Each structure stands twice: as C-alpha cells, then as structure tokens.
Amino acid sequence: MGGVTTIGDRAERRPKQDRSRATRQRLLEAAVSCLAEHGWAGSTVTVVAERAGVSRGAAQHHFPTREDLFTAAVEYVAEERSTALRALFPEGAADDRRAVVSALVDLYTGPLFRAALHLWVAASNEEQLRPRVTELEARVGRETHRIAVELLAADEKKPGVRETVQGLLDMARGLGLANLLTDDHARREKVVEQWAVLLDEALL
C-alpha cells in the first residue's frame, strides 16, 4: 500500500543514516586536520574531501559552503575536547587544581587550537566568515569558561574570581600561541605550577 513504511524500509534507512553520520564526522575531522596543517588558503573543500575519502559532491551535500564546513569542524572538535575534559574529572570539581590547570592548558596546545587560529586569521580578512567565527568563538569561550569554573569549584559571586578564571584561560591561550613556534614543555610546566598556587590562594 502507498505511504506505508515497512520494517524493511526502516532497516534499510538506518544503515544509510549511519553512513551519512560517519561521512559527516570524517569530513569534520579532515577539515580540522587540513586547517591545522595547511591554513585557510590551502584548505579547500576538494582537499578536505580527498582527505576524508569522499567525493566533493558528498562533501557539499553535508556542507554547502566552505564556511559551513570549517566553522562546523572547529565547533565539532571543540565540543569533543570539552567532553573529553569533563571525562577527566567525572566527579566534577577536582581537589587537584594543578591537574585542572594542566588540562585547560592542553586545550590550547593541540591541532584544534592551531586550526581555530587559522580560522580566526581568515575571519579577520573575510567579511562573510567573520560574523560566524565571532559567534563560534564566543560560544566556545563561554563553554570553556563554564567548565573551568565548575572544575575549579570557583565561586564567581566573590569579587575578582571571574576575572581570575578568565585570566587563567587567557594565559592558557598565550601558552598555546607560544607553542606554535617552539614546544617549551619545561617552561609551560613551571607556569602551570605557579598558576595552580595562585588559584589555591585566590579561590579560598
């Protein structure tokens, strides 16, 4: 009968949906890798599609424009990293603030930060990209701040606490920028250690 969906139809659709989700995920991960390695100028939809092992048409089916693809990619990986960060501290607020500071710094020293940086630079020159990246950065920044407050058990009702947490994240971003040129792990560890001490004093 017309219009009747059978169990067989639903079973057939499910693998297609699974394949579609898998293709989308491969594209997002490939986009971040390309952006981190080649920058905005060298990261076209065609390059990403080749890396993901799909056709350009398939890529454009999921992401009609280049801007759609790369903003979605950075947001996707940012969400994955946030989930992973929370998973490191399943009980919520951590007793070891040094571990929290170290984990937050790690957010800014990997391929995601490098990819996001290329996207920010491109947005500073591309009018059509700028509002989307500005909105994305604000959203990711708010979420990272919320996670930091939660894991540090910081009471932002107290004067100066919000600014202290934001200062920590700004410091982590600065270390991420420095890490783009040289991996000075020893210096980074000393900075992390000192910030943990400062936080223990500031968040009493």
Q: Is residue 191 part of a domain?
A: yes
Query: How confident is the model at residue 1, as a pLDDT?
Result: 47
What is the per-residue pLDDT across 53-105, written as a single tens digit (0 to 9) for each?
A: 999 999 999 999 999 999 898 888 888 888 888 888 887 777 889 999 999 99
Q: What is the pTM of this model?
A: 0.78
Query: How confident is the model at residue 87, as a pLDDT?
Result: 84
The string of DSSP codes covering 80-148 is: HHHHHHHHHSTTSS-S-HHHHHHHHHHTTSSHHHHHHHHHHHHHHH-TTTHHHHHHHHHHHHHHHHHHH
Mean local confidence (pLDDT), 112-138? 87
Q: Is residue 167 part of a domain?
A: yes
Q: Which two tokens stand for residue 51?
A: 């890396």
Q: Is residue 15 part of a domain?
A: no
Q: Is residue 149 part of a domain?
A: yes
Mean local confidence (pLDDT), 141-165? 92
**CATH number, position 95:** 1.10.357
Q: In the chain, how many domains are there?
A: 1
Residue 11 predicted with pLDDT over 50? no
Q: Is residue 161 part of a domain?
A: yes
Q: Is residue 129 part of a domain?
A: yes
Q: Which domain holds residue 158?
A: 66-202
Q: Is residue 38 part of a domain?
A: no
The share of the chain scoring above pLDDT 90, in percent, equals 44
Does the CA dihedral 26-32-38-41 come out positive or negative?
A: positive
Q: Which two tokens stand for residue 104?
A: 């937050």
Q: Is residue 194 part of a domain?
A: yes
Q: Backbone dihedral region of 94: left (phi > 0), alpha (psi from -120 to 50 degrees) or beta?
A: beta
Report the chain's mean pLDDT, rounded to a whole number.
86
